Every structure is written in structure tokens, then in C-alpha cells.
Structure 1
Amino acid sequence: MGRPRTAIGTFGEFTYITAPNGRIKARVRFRDDDGQLRLVQATGDTRKGAERTLKEKLTRRDGFAAGSRDLSADSTFSRLVDVWLADLDLTDKLAPSTRALYERNMRQLVMPAFENYTLREIDVRKVDQFIKRLASSKSYSTAKQARTVLSLALGLAVRYGALKENPVRGIARMHKPASQAMALTIDEVDAIRTAVRSWRREGGLSGPKPDGQLEQIIEVMLGTSARIGEVLALRKCDVDVTKTPATVRICGTIISPAGRPTYRQHHPKTEKSTRVVSVPSFTAEVLRQRLVVVAHEPPEHLLFFTRNLTPLTTNNVRRRLRTILAEAGISGVTPHAFRRTVATVLDRASGPDLAAELLGHTSSKITKAHYIQPDEEVDPVTAEILESLAPKQAEQ
């Protein structure tokens, strides 16, 4: 045998020995999960072949293949993504919809740009240019979503020692385009009500008539500020119309996972946004109507549901609303527009703190930035105050 030669490999210091027949034996001391150092070796026709076989052998050792200890600076980004997704499932702290969104954004937005790179090749410059191109060709929102999942995955690589630092943290700050929340006016709300109430109600049309749930859902959104998924998740037991004003407990949302049935999640978008809200009389009247429909159903029964008694999906409600309003010549209105309208009305009457409380926000900062339409009108009392600057009457 030839003299042993050494090199630093992914798993530590490899030793290479050439046998009389010309084959190469690669060896390394590997610390197993029990903390013991053991000699592991593999043979190949070439040094690279022996090393590759040795690495494969190491990754098959108990407790190693299912983990992430095989991540290194030489691992591909695709390998990191597999480990990252498995880690998300292991921690199980994300809502199914968020988990699905993360994977979709990773595979559709990020993977095409980085899948062929090793981790050591992904630096600040590459990430910075990628995010800027995405913001320019797509949108700020798309670039921000890509940055989020890329940072999470590379952060995992840092935690497992494959990278020394997360290159996403070094990129240029993203600048959100100037925009402002737009609320609906009272006239616009009434026009929407009229369009939904009259849609397909005229005689002579084939097919079943609308069941009236969409207009009722709109009244509940306007009276509670709840998200569309939260409204569709309301149950019989969440409503109390025996008191004045009537109350609604918002404590769930509707989830539609890809490839699985739609179901009710037992908390809203965030755990902290569970709340009990008092509703105006027009919303209370709609809730009474729904309670009559489910009068003989158990307390956990949903107030809004399909003809098959399954949960309504948020996408179907959005699609139906969009179709109706398009036929009425109304554009740019989504279910979230009602939430912004409620926030703006409350802000005008009592300030952003009350609006934030009703919307289930932990801070009015989010409410003011994304939900309240800015008020351009200055308090008219300024005119009275400035009267003191009027020119004095000339003496006769």
C-alpha cells in the first residue's frame, strides 16, 4: 500500500490510501450520535469516487440520514430546502396555510434562481441582485415573500454550521412603494349591497337562485371587521343575540389546504386575535336570520355553509363577489375592503386604538399603516383660531 495522504473533507479529516491494485481507500473518524469516535472507510477507483462512497456511507449511519448534520458549505441549495421543509414539519408551529405558502414561495420564486448553487456560492451579492430583480420584474410584495423564505432557509444553514452568516441580512434595505389604504364610502357600500342583493334575482333565469348568504356575509364583515375566513368560521355557539348589543366571538378561521378538504381552524389568523365584539343592529338582524336556519343543529354548527353542509371556502366567496361586482361595473373591491372601511370609520369617530382593538391587532401601528385611509381634512377649528390674524378695521 502507498503512504497515507490526508485532506480536510466535509466530515472531518479524510485519509486516503492507495492499495497495490490501484484502488483508493478513504477513511475518516466519525463521531456517532452516542458521542463515540469510530473509523469509517470506503473504497473507490479514484480518490473522488472513494470520498463520494464514504460520504454516502456516513449519511446512512443511524440517526444521521434523517437529520441535518450532512449539511455543509458544499451542500446544494436544493438539499438545504429539503432539510428546511422537514424542519418546518418537525417543529409544527406553522398553520397549514402558512406552511403551504412558504413551500410554494420557495419552489416557485427562489428555487429557480438558486437550486444549482452550493451554499458556499450563495453570497450577499447574489441574494441582493436576486431580490432587486424580483422587485423590479414582479412586485415589492413578491420580493418580500421570497426574501422571507430565503432568509429562513439560510438561517437554518447557519444554525447547523453549514454557513457562518446569513447573506440575506447583508442585502440592501427594501423600500416599499408609496401607497395608502382606501376605504369604501357609504354610497359605495350601498351600491355593493344593491348589486349583490339583485344578482340573478330576475325571472326567466335557469339554475338555482342565490341563497342570500353572500349579502349576509357582507353585513357581518361590516359589523365585526372580521376577515372573510373568520366570518365563514362563525358557529352557532359563537353568537349571542339575547343581549343588547348582540355579541360575536371571533375564534376561528376557514382553511383550505391544497389537496385536502376545507376545514375550520380553532383559532383566527393569530392566536392573539381571538376576541368578542359587540355588533350593530343590522348585523344582529342577519345573525338572527342565520340562527333560525340552524335552529335544529348542534351548537358547533357553522352559520354559513354549502348546500352539502360543508364549510364555504374563502376563494369561492371572493370569486362570487368579484363576478357580481364586475357585472355591476364595480371594480377593485375585495372582502378586505370592508375591513379597511370599518377601521377608517372607527378611526374618524374614536381614533386608531379602538380600530386596532376591534380588528384584533396588537398595535395601532399596523392598523394605521394598512387599514385606515388617511384623513386629508384638517380640523376646521383652525379657521376660527386664525381669525385673530385678520386685518384691523381702518379708523373712520
Structure 2
Amino acid sequence: MSATGATKREAERELKKVIASRSTFRASGELTADSSFLRLVEVWLADLDLEAKLAPSTRALYERNMRQIVLPAFEGYTLREITVSRVDRYIKHLAITRSWSMAKQARTVLSLALGLAVRYDALQKNPVRDIARLRKPPSQAMALTVVQVEAIRVAVRAWRRGTGVVGPPPDGQLEQIIEVMLGTSARIGEVLAIRKCDVDVTALPATVRLSGTIVSPSGKPTHRQHHPKTMKSTRTVSVPSFTAEVLRQRLVRFAAEDPDHLIFFTRNGTPLTTNNVRRRLRAVLDEAGIEGVTPHSFRRTVATVIDRAGGADLAAEMLGHTSSEITKAHYIEPDEKVNPVTAEILEALAPWTSATDDESGSTG
């Protein structure tokens, strides 16, 4: 490597610039600053598999976001061409033209991949770290009201159960799944992963241990993962009477099965997929004219109801969160009502009324 300048000092400065723009002598043979971004993606995905720290569902999500969102924008560049300004413009454009959520997901996988390039000495620094902060647009969690919950129950119970309906009627599991979501605060995958051995209806109140989730990895059969979304989400919750009754019905229905048998399952005895349950719920509610309800709506509803009665810390414990800040930010609907005790307190500011005023009435 060489560089020239009008003076010795200027030549040294130019040489340092050349050196900084080239991969170092320690650079791996797999990646250099002249490697394509596509090559980086291949190495990054292989590295994720080598570390094996991610849940299969998270690994699949990262690859999907990389290939579908990020790769089309950067596949024509070498690593040295991926600058802070180029990444900054891309993330901002994505947030404006698509969504904040998509921009956030793109930033995550792009930062992870370019971080690997830094560790391989192909880049001196990760350009994602210096881009402008991605500010989330204002939003708030929305919980269902008691009236809305009952309307959903009515719609699900009535779906495809009238005269003139072609084909077999629904097996009743969807309405039961909803009752379990409302009674446990569990994610849909956690509910579908409940086994016989996780339920104790002899206790008062009945309890459910949430210790797994249903996953559907790409190219592999749907199965029960032996821990929830996070390892710290494993918990045992006490459930209300309406949820306990549903669980009793399920246990009686297949009393002869092994303790590890799932509470909810297909006609073939295999695990229900979360996508199928979401599609079925969406079809039912669309037909009933009910919009904006997803399985996560029930989780937010539980969080809000518990917060009103017992506070955010109890709601966070129920949902399996490590911090009530997460629960308050994303699951509890803000309460606009101020404690009515303020009216009693403010009586201290009432106007004084003299005895003369009382006797004379309103005359001035």
C-alpha cells in the first residue's frame, strides 16, 4: 500500500487513510471490506447456526427479515460501500414508506450482520451504531371491554352452527382456547402447549403451569418447544372459575391419554398451529363484523384488568415479564380516570359563606 502527498506529513496522512479503508492483515479469508453484502449474509446465517443461541422461531424470523427486507436494498454493495449515511437514509425511508416496526426489524438484523463483519475485521466499525435514533410513533395498548369480550364469545359460539351449514360443525376448541387465554394471560403458543400434567383442577383455585410453546420451524413439523418465548416466562398461574371449567371439560374428554398429552390438538392428535388458530379467529370475527382483535388482544385485556385491581407489578408477574415497565408500555391500556378522592380533597378550596349571607339569601 502506498500514498503520495505534497509533503512527508501529508503523504503519511494519505497512507493512513488508505490503510483505514482496506481490510487489515488480520482479516479472515471469509470476509474483507471488498466482500459483497450477500456474502456477509451467508456467513452471518452460518454463524447464527454455529452459536445455536437463538430459538428456532427467532432464527427463522431473522433470516426472513434479512432476505425479504434488507438484502434487496444492499445486495449490490460491497461492505466498504455500506456507510453510515447510506444505512441512515435506508432506515428512515423504510420507516416512512413502510412502517416503524419494519424499520426496527431491518435495523436489528443489519446491525447483527455488520457487527459480525467488524468481528471478522472486514469493517472498522458498525455503521448502524451511528445512524439517527429510530423514534417510535405515539401509540397505546388497547384492551377489550367486558361487552366486547362477550360479543366475541357469542360470535365464536354461533359460527357455522346454524341450519343450512355445509360440512361438520366446529369442534369447540376455539371458544375454549379463548377462555384459557383470558384466564391465564398466556400467549397463543403457550396456551396450545399446555399438557395434562400442567393442569391441576383439584387445587382451589385451579392452576396451570405455562412451561412451553408451540413452534412451526420452516421445513420441520410443528411441535412443542420445552420453554415459553423466553426461559424466564415459565410460571404457574391460578385461573378463574370459567377457565377451570373449560380445562375440566378437556381433561374428561381424553382422560385415558398420557400426562404429556396436549390439552388442545388436531383431529389427528398433532399440535394445533398458532397460524391456524389466528386464521380461524379472524374468519369468525370478520363474519361477525368485529375488527382489530387478535389473540394478543386477550393478553392486553388481562394485563389491563389486573392492573386496575392489583397494579402493574402484579400484571407483569402474571404475563411473565421481567419488568413492569414492559407491561405498562405495551400491554396495559392507560387509565384516563383520575382517582375520585381528588374531589373530596379539593373541597378544602370551597368558597367561604358567612352567616349574614345565609340569612339574606341572594340579595346584594
Residue in structure 2 matching 1:378, options 338, 341, 345? 338
Q: Does 1:192 align with 2:143?
A: no
Residue in structure 2 matching 1:135, options 90, 95, 99? 95
Query: 2:117 — aligned with what?
Result: 157
Query: 1:334 — aligned with what?
Result: 294
Measured in 1, the distance between the counterparts of 2:186 and 2:335 equals 23
Within a 5 Å distance, the mapping from 1:99-110 to structure 2 comes to 99-110=59-70
Query: What is the deviation of 1:11?
Result: 8.1
Query: 1:123 — aligned with what?
Result: 83
Q: What TM-score comes out, normalization by structure 1 length?
A: 0.83
Residue in structure 2 matching 1:296, options 247, 251, 256? 256
Q: What TM-score comes out, normalization by structure 2 length?
A: 0.90
- Give the residue type in structure 1 aligned to 2:79: L
- Kept in 2, the 8 Å contact 1:232–1:254? The answer is yes
> Equivalent residue of 2:121, what SS?
coil
Query: What is the deviation of 1:201?
Result: 1.1
- Kept in 1, the 8 Å contact 2:23–2:123? The answer is no
Measured in 2, the distance between the counterparts of 1:363 and 1:68 equals 41
Within a 5 Å distance, the mapping from 1:37-56 to structure 2 comes to none
> Equivalent residue of 1:326, what SS?
helix
Query: What is the deviation of 1:258?
Result: 1.9
Query: What is the deviation of 1:304?
Result: 0.3
- Kept in 1, the 8 Å contact 2:207–2:239? The answer is yes
Per-residue CA shift, 1:308-342, capped at 9, x if unaligned? Answer: 11110111101111111111110000000000000
Query: 1:280 — aligned with what?
Result: 240
Q: Does 1:174 align with 2:134?
A: yes
Q: Does 1:147 align with 2:107?
A: yes
Residue in structure 1 matching 2:38, options 65, 78, 81? 78
- Give the residue type in structure 2 aligned to 1:373: E
Per-residue CA shift, 1:334-354, capped at 9, x if unaligned? Answer: 000000000000000010000
Measured in 2, the distance between the counterparts of 1:69 and 1:242 equals 63
Query: What is the deviation of 1:10?
Result: 6.0
Residue in structure 2 matching 1:359, options 303, 319, 322? 319
Per-residue CA shift, 1:157-215, capped at 9, x if unaligned? Answer: 11111111100000000110000000000000000000001111112212011111000
- Kept in 1, the 8 Å contact 2:143–2:297? The answer is yes
Measured in 1, the distance between the counterparts of 2:74 and 2:303 equals 41
- Kept in 2, the 8 Å contact 1:69–1:160? The answer is no
> Equivalent residue of 1:205, what SS?
coil
Query: 1:204 — aligned with what?
Result: 164
RMSD (Å), alpha carbons = 1.6
Query: What is the deviation of 1:68?
Result: 5.4
Q: Aligned residues, how many?
A: 337
The gaps in structure 2 that reach 5 residues or longer are 1-17, 357-364
- Higher CA-based Rg: 1
> Equivalent residue of 2:242, what SS?
helix
- Give the residue type in structure 2 aligned to 1:151: S
Q: Does 1:96 align with 2:56?
A: yes
> Equivalent residue of 2:307, what SS?
helix
Measured in 1, the distance between the counterparts of 2:341 and 2:105 equals 45
Measured in 2, the distance between the counterparts of 1:395 and 1:171 equals 71
Measured in 1, the distance between the counterparts of 2:69 and 2:117 equals 19
- Kept in 2, the 8 Å contact 1:78–1:111? The answer is yes
Query: 2:72 — aligned with what?
Result: 112
The gaps in structure 1 that reach 5 residues or longer are 1-6, 13-30, 32-66
- Kept in 1, the 8 Å contact 2:36–2:76? The answer is yes
Query: What is the deviation of 1:394?
Result: 3.3
More strand by share: 1
More helix by share: 2
- Give the residue type in structure 1 aligned to 2:48: L
Measured in 2, the distance between the counterparts of 1:98 and 1:294 equals 33
Residue in structure 2 matching 1:271, options 231, 242, 252? 231
Residue in structure 1 matching 2:283, options 310, 316, 323? 323
> Equivalent residue of 1:249, what SS?
strand
Measured in 1, the distance between the counterparts of 2:23 and 2:242 equals 67
Query: What is the deviation of 1:154?
Result: 0.3
Measured in 2, the distance between the counterparts of 1:260 and 1:161 equals 35
- Kept in 2, the 8 Å contact 1:236–1:294? The answer is no
Measured in 1, the distance between the counterparts of 2:302 and 2:266 equals 27
Q: Does 1:225 align with 2:185?
A: yes
Query: 1:59 — aligned with what?
Result: none
Q: Per the alignment, do residues 372 and 11 of structure 1 end up closer, same or farther by CA in structure 2, a change over 3 Å counting?
A: closer
Measured in 2, the distance between the counterparts of 1:140 and 1:340 equals 21
Of structures 1 and 2, the one with the larger relative CO (CA 8 A, separation 6+) is 2
Measured in 1, the distance between the counterparts of 2:260 and 2:31 equals 47
